[in-house]
Amino acid sequence: MTDIPYPEQAQRFNFSWIADVIFHPARAFRRIATQTKSTWLTPLLILSLVVLVNVLVVGGLKNKAAQMGEITYPPDFQYYTPEQQAQYMQAIQSTQGPVFTYVLPAIASLLGVWFGWLILGGIVHLVTTLSGGRGSTMLSMNIVAWASLPLAVREIIQIIYMLGTKKMISSPGLSGFGAADASGVSLFFSLFLGLIDIFLIWQILLIILGVRISTKLSTAKSTFSALLSVLIILLLQTGISYLVSALSNLTITRPFFF
């Protein structure tokens, strides 16, 4: 008689899987693909925790800059009327409280983590199904969640950098290739580049691996499905950032953005 190996079943929390996802992703996603229940809680809790720590660090740096009188002015500030300049300075002072520095950014970051996961997971399942994949919605959600661990690594590195240099990150991703005074289509392109970095590429590679293992799609179809899904998410994120940027250039709404 030959013993049939049964797949390792997930617990409520699976912190022991983290190292495998980072250092042995093929083995990790083969394990994830065999699960019969949700395993997404652990990576999303980790990502939520590190983004909250990031918010605390950024908030502390903003408070320190405000205490030292450092203010970031809009590019066209010198062309404002005296009344508009006074309004802008008053708005800056009113947004230096803990609600604008910590609470709202924390809520926005958590919503970005959880809603981003829900949307990306749904898109991955839809695209892979249309491509002939045999995976379930739950499996797609598990894969997307665990494939998001590189984003947690990025947050940790940013936190270490900011704590070490006492400076905030001003040009994330590839945004440095965009024009500093960009507007219109150039601004949209610059915001899009700001979302692209090595950690996003790492995440995409993990999604491709997870999709290929779990759905039995070819490498080409798995790659297409992952790239298309992430591209849709990036365009949505860029569109929201562009809208916020456009609205923040209006005199009436400028005080409400930071």
What pLDDT, in 10s, does the model give residues 40-51? 999 999 999 999
Judge whether residue 200 has pLDDT over 90: yes
For residues 197-223, give the mean pLDDT.
95
The model carries a pTM of 0.83
Distance of CA 37 to the CA centre of its chain: 25
| pLDDT band for position 79 (cuts 50, 70, 90) | low
pLDDT of residue 212: 95
| pLDDT band for position 255 (cuts 50, 70, 90) | very low
Judge whether residue 230 has pLDDT over 80: yes
Greater confidence (255 vs 18) lies with 18
Cα–Cα distance measured from residue 70 to residue 56, given in angstroms and rounded to the nearest whole number:
19
| pLDDT band for position 254 (cuts 50, 70, 90) | very low
Closest CA to 124 of 221, 25, 240: 221
Instruction: Look over the chain and give the mean of its residue pLDDT values, rounded to a whole number.
Output: 83
Judge whether residue 84 has pLDDT over 80: no
- The structural domains of the chain, with segments of one domain joined by +, span 20-256
Judge whether residue 145 has pLDDT over 80: yes
Judge whether residue 179 has pLDDT over 60: no
DSSP state of 251: T
Q: Supply 220's token pair.
A: 């080409």
SS3 181: coil
> For the ranges 125-134, 226-235, 248-257, which has the lowest average pLDDT?
248-257
Cα–Cα distance measured from residue 56 to residue 105, given in angstroms and rounded to the nearest whole number:
9
| pLDDT band for position 198 (cuts 50, 70, 90) | very high
